[in-house]
Chain A
Amino acid sequence: MRFACGLVVCLCLVVASGAWGSDDRGVVNENVDLHTAPTTAADAPARLAAGTEVFRLQRQGGWIEVRAPADNVAGWIRVWHFRPADTASPEAETAETETLSGLRRFSRQAAGLFSTDDTPTASDDVTATIGVRGLGIGDAEDARPDPGARTWVDNHRVRAADAEAFAREAGLRPRSIDTSAVPPGRDQKLAEVQP
């Protein structure tokens, strides 16, 4: 498989801008095609390997345009293939952010820790096998009910006004969107046409 084979988009203007915010740097989380337009119908003359560093250029619906400096290419990928960087810039990596990276590795390792024997896992650097708690099949059914824990949880509910103020702090505003269902059987048809 060829990665970044061919330059799909002229990058001159992109490179010139150079003003990337902390949220604009990231990596692609899978091997992904770089499309020339935000649609799967568009050509995809280049491909990025999982883990390639990219910069986010613009967003359109479920698509995001990215630039990959190392490969000197740009193009459109699905939004969920962009993983934002943990830090604002490489220079900003502090002990705290290293801790964050560490805990995320821990969580991914936890996924591996629970793997069955001889099962390949997404994590390839498992280093510990203790201290991980799981909730597996049958555990909830076999458990002794804990009314005290439920009361504790109930006591940590928040008022609607509190939640609303918290949302406003982040600039969140309610939007009117209906939840009307797609016609019966539509989901399956969509699944069949979507790669």
Chain B
Amino acid sequence: MKKLTAMAAGALFLTGCADIEGLRDLTEIRDTVETVRYAVGDVPENEEREIGEALAEQLLGAAPPVQDPEVQRYVNRVGTWVARQSDRPRLDWTFAVIDVDTVNAYAAPGGYVFVTRGLFLLMEDEAELAGVLGHEIAHVTERHHMRELQRAARWGLAFDLVEQATGDGLDDEALRALANAGARLYDSGLSREDELDADRIGAIYAARAGYDPWALLSTLTTIEGIHPQALAVEQLTASHPPTEDRRNILAAHLDERLGDLNPGLRPIDRFREVRDRLAHDDT
């Protein structure tokens, strides 16, 4: 990264010197700066949202939302409440249950979070849902996917789209390329460190919202009970650290950090009403 930055800085310096008497190449310089910024710097929040929208459209193309407004309203209420306690509370947080029975959850930049029907049905109470949503919210607040997309750009895997990101926002082709790169991330996964961070931060977001942060460990235990080669968890297994590792590491962290905290709440009844509804939608 340092090398790339140094090369870019050198190129800018030379370009600047060559045209020092005129300002006509300022646009070119600005474009180069924008290109480098997309590869190594911060992406503006509105463009992060645009990328998230494109990735959400890609995911929803494969897994449509459950067509039940009550279910969606419930998951949005829980998710928004948790997200409001996160480090990026002002994003347009958007949650949805998607209509597939495999077990997984997904985040997209800008504030999109999706949980599968299969995972929802495996959970026992609202605190478990809050923990899962907290994990995905943490991926967004920590910009894990954005960082991976920028890494891909640096290695040229999506460089054509970076070249198009020259200060006027991202065009459709660039967004589609980014969405494809993001969809590949759902299969290959983020780094182990990012996933463990999301467990830790997500559990704390749930705790901030008044939920029992240990509930995420209940979900991980349930998932651990599914054979790792079962296709229901194939994508989850391929894209995350071993569930047992996640559970042990998160448990040790919570023991240390929150061992003395009032455990928090695990609302059951209203969660199970929605879970029941979700099951009946599955006909």
Contact = CB atoms under 8 A, between A and B. Distances in A.
Contacts of A173: 210
A113 B56 CA distance: 27
Interface string B205-231: 101111110100110111001110111
Contacts of B225: 29-30, 122
A134 B100 contact: yes
B101 A107 contact: yes
Given A111-B103, A132-B101, A116 B231 contact: yes
A100 B272 contact: yes
A142 B230 contact: no
What interface size band does chain B fall in? Answer: 35 or more
Nearest to B128: A80
B53 to A, nearest CB: 6
Nearest to B75: A156
Chain A: number of interface residues, binned into ranges: 35 or more
Nearest to B267: A170
Contacts, number: 290
A120 to B, nearest CB: 6
Contacts of A1: none
A193 B252 CA distance: 9
Interface string A91-117: 000001001101110111011111110
27 contacts: A62-B254, A79-B214, A84-B125, A100-B276, A103-B121, A103-B276, A110-B102, A112-B230, A115-B229, A116-B229, A121-B226, A133-B101, A140-B63, A141-B184, A143-B62, A145-B179, A146-B61, A149-B65, A152-B65, A156-B73, A157-B80, A163-B79, A170-B270, A172-B267, A177-B261, A179-B204, A191-B245
